Amino acid sequence: MKRVLTLITLLLWGGTMLYFWWSGRIASYLHPQFHPYVLAAGAGLLLLAALWWWASRETDAGCGECGCHHGHDEEPPRSRLSAGAVFAFVVLLLPLSAAAFISPSQFGEAMVMNRGIVTDISQLPSAEISGGGWEDAPAWDGSVGDVDMTWDEGQEEGVEYFTRGPDGSIQVETLDLLFAAQEPGLREEFENQRVSILGQYVPPRGGAEGGFNLVRMFVVCCAADARPLGIKVTGEPVAVPRMGWVRITGVARFEDNGGLLEPVLELEKIEEVEAPRESFLY
Amino acid sequence: MDHWFWFSLPDFAYSFLSVVLEGVPFILMGVALSGVIDVFLPPRVLARLLPRNAAAGILLGGALGAVLPMCECGIVVVIRRLLQKGLPLSNAMAYMLAAPVVNPIVAVSTYAAFRGQGPLEMMLCRIGLSFAVAVIMAGLVYFLRRGFVLRPDLVLPEGKDEHHDHRSGREKAAAAVRAATGDFLDVTVFFVLGAAVATLFNTSVNQQVIMPLAEDRALAVGSMMALASLLSLCSTSDAFVAATFTAFPSASKLAFLVFGPVVDLKLVFIYGLVFRKRFIVFLVAGLAILVFVLCAFLPIPNFRG
């Protein structure tokens, strides 16, 4: 029994890791630098499962003749299950399966409110300006990933650095406006410009009036360290599900909030869109 | 702040999975290294490599992470194997406590995270304090009996596991696979339990609750240590989180960076694989006092630039 449960555990863990890598769901969980590790670990666990099946059938000759004890402190693979072993297998099998089934692969509002929305870029020391591209974002027609957003290294810095959409609005990320708020030159260039941003819709709790937040998660390693970056949007709350993905088009301004300049968008247009393949900013 | 606790099962499941997916490859690396040690490192070779002087052995253990870096998830299983091979307890303790921080990967990530907040000073202070804490704790452990520290199945007299091995290559390989599988399952059980508890805090508690503590240095140090333990972040990425607490003094951020990699919720569970419960209490209390005293009372300025 223990032998079979061990095999099932290794197969489940290896299979789950390979599934997340193969299906692309891994992009919603880890920074890209960790993706190869997940692939290697999944393959390694499946290999270990095969080796385990072979090794558990091999009998150890033992050392009865010489009286030494090396290698014999392992519990025999065919031994009966103790209560502790049953508990261990429950812990190994149940949480992983349940979490993979339940997880929506994106955070909800509870986490955003518990972490607090970041509007000051100095709180994110590893953040860098996006490069103006939305390679994995839904395109203007709603399809995913077919937009050519390559950035020409020779372009001048400033708003010309960013791509423009068909309606002439500048395509930016939440990060870019937070950077602009702290950079006088860039701030001046963005002031009163029409911009278009992708993010999640977070209206105030309790139905308060006065706009809403557009939020995008910033991640260093994995979703567990995600920080919600927010841009205030003025305008009436709209009929979009809370935390639903939207593209906002509006005019950028910068307001002094207790000595800290923060970007604010005056809402012109809001569209519901599909979640991007890569939901994080890095 | 309109709430301090808000639990969401989907958020919990999502964050828990991300921790598991990130951590398991490193556990597997630890298991692989453990297997290599088991097969290719006879106790007599280990004994020959180690300095005879105990203090030199502890200092070497503390610096070993620089050439053999391991993250905190994977190192416990390596330590267990090294102890079974007869590595002196104090040397193993110094390696276990220092390696997750005293290594080039963490040095670079700490430097990168603290751009504009004294990156070089923060990096050097973090590595220096972690090394000092590891060496001091290992020095204390030197005076303890192995029976007080280790689980009964690991209590072999140091260097006394030496004997001939007359098994065939096939038998040795099968034994190594069984040992590696056992190691993986053992450590993963504790990892899952610890990750679940840490995720509960990480996703459900409003993190604004600790912000008022930033004004007093001792309170700031204590609260950042507690936060590091509760968040249970990987030592390669925790600096990026610590650096975001811009209102907190540098000393409290160092406390976060030194304490978190050696005492966090998932680690306390994983330590149970090697140590007795009473020693885990001793270890956690000792590390907490040591890090608190060093960070709260040493003249550490607020680094800028």
Q: What confidence score (pLDDT) does residue A44 get?
A: 95
Cα dihedral sign for B222, B224, B225, B230?
A: positive
Query: pLDDT value at position A199?
Result: 94
Phi and psi torsions of A253, nearest 5°: -135, 170
Task: Write down the ipTM of this complex.
Answer: 0.84
For the residues B70-83, what does the mean pLDDT come to?
83
Residue B205: its pLDDT value, please?
Answer: 84
Q: So what's the pLDDT on residue A142?
A: 38
How distant is the Cα of B112 from the closest Cα of chain A, in angstroms? 7
- In angstroms, the separation between the Cα of residue A248 and the nearest Cα of chain B is 25
Instruction: Examine residue A281 and state whether it is found in any structural domain, yes or no.
Output: no
Q: Give the number of residues written for chain A.
A: 282
Contact B175 A10 (CB under 8 A): no
* Residue B120 located in a structural domain: yes
Q: Are residues A209 and A131 in the same domain?
A: yes
Which residue type is seen at B6?
W
Residue B231 domain boundaries: 9-297
Same domain, A121 and A260: yes
In this complex, the residue of A88, A116, A125 whose CB is nearest that of residue B189 is: A88
For residue B302, tell me if it sits in a domain.
no
A71, part of any domain: no
Q: Which residues of A touch B83 (CB under 8 A)?
A: none
Q: What is the pLDDT of residue A127?
A: 67
Number of domains in chain A: 2
A58 and B CB contact within 8 Å: yes
d(CA A232, CA B107): 36
- The answer to whether residue B305 is domain-embedded is no
Mean pLDDT of chain B: 85
Q: Identify which of A28, A229, A230 has the alpha carbon closest to the alpha carbon of residue A126.
A: A229
Where is the domain boundary, A47, A69, A102? A102
Among B53-67, B155-169, B279-293, the least confident range: B155-169
With CB atoms and an 8 Å threshold, state whether B181 touches A48.
yes
List Cα–Cα distances, A179 to A253, A263, B104, B280, in angstroms: 13, 9, 30, 45
Flag whether pLDDT at B178 surpasses 90.
no
Cβ–Cβ below 8 Å for B204 and A205: no
Contacts of A144 (CB under 8 A, 6+ apart): A136, A137, A138, A274, A276, A277
- For residue A134, the model assigns a pLDDT of 42
Does residue A278 sit within a domain?
no
| Statement to judge: residues A89 and A148 lie in one domain | no
pLDDT of residue B166: 63
A94 with A123, same domain? Answer: no
Contact B246 A29 (CB under 8 A): no
Q: Which residues of A touch B202 (CB under 8 A)?
A: 224
Q: Is the pLDDT of residue B70 over 60?
A: yes
Q: What is the mean pLDDT of each run of 10 residues along chain A (282 residues)?
A: 90 97 93 92 96 81 47 53 85 94 91 88 68 44 37 52 83 89 88 93 74 90 87 84 92 88 91 87 86
Domain for residue B207, yes or no? yes
Tell me if A252 sits within 8 A of A191, measured CB to CB. Answer: yes
Mean pLDDT for the stretch of residues B204-214: 82
Q: Best-predicted range by mean pLDDT among A111-120, B112-121, B233-242?
A: A111-120
Q: Do A88 and A138 share a structural domain? A: no
Q: What pLDDT is stored for residue A68 in this prediction?
A: 47
Residue B80: what are its φ and ψ, rounded to 5°? -60, -45
Q: Has residue A63 been placed in a domain?
A: no
**Minimal CA separation from B166 to chain A, in Å:** 8
- Share above pLDDT 90 across residues of chain B, in percent, rounded to a whole number: 37
Residue A142 and residue A19 share a domain: no
Single residue among A69, A102, A135 that ends a domain in this structure: A102
Residue B83 lies in a domain: yes
Of A57-71, B155-169, B279-293, the one with minimum mean pLDDT is A57-71
* Nearest-angstrom CA–CA distance, B69 and B52: 23
**DSSP helix/strand/coil, B250:** helix
User: Are A167 and A229 contained in the same domain?
Assistant: yes
Residue B1 domain-assigned (yes or no): no
In this structure, are A87 and A120 located in the same domain?
A: no
Quick check: A175 and A232 in contact, CB under 8 A?
A: no
Is residue B121 a part of any domain in this protein?
A: yes
> Can you give the CATH number for the domain in which A263 is found?
2.40.50.200
Q: Does some domain include residue A243?
A: yes
Please check whether residues A250 and A169 belong to one and the same domain. yes
Q: Are residues A147 and A48 in the same domain?
A: no
Residues A216, A137, single domain; the answer is yes
Q: Is A239 exposed, middle or buried (0-12, 13-18, 19+ CB in 10 A)?
A: exposed
Nearest to B22 among A51, A113, A221 (CB): A221
Mutation for B interface: A225, A227, A281, A282, most B CBs within 10 A: A225
Task: Identify the burial level of A24 via C-beta atoms within 10 angstroms of its C-beta, where 0-12 means exposed, 13-18 middle and 19 or more buried.
Answer: exposed
Domain assignment present for residue A179? The answer is yes
* Lowest-confidence pick of A15-19, B153-157, B173-177: B153-157
Residues of the domain holding A21: 2-58+77-102
pLDDT score, position A164: 84
Domain count of the fold of chain B: 1
Highest mean pLDDT among A203-217, B3-17, B32-46, B240-254: B3-17
Does residue A144 sit in the same domain as residue A175?
yes
Residue in A218, A50, A214 with CA at minimum distance from that of residue A121: A218
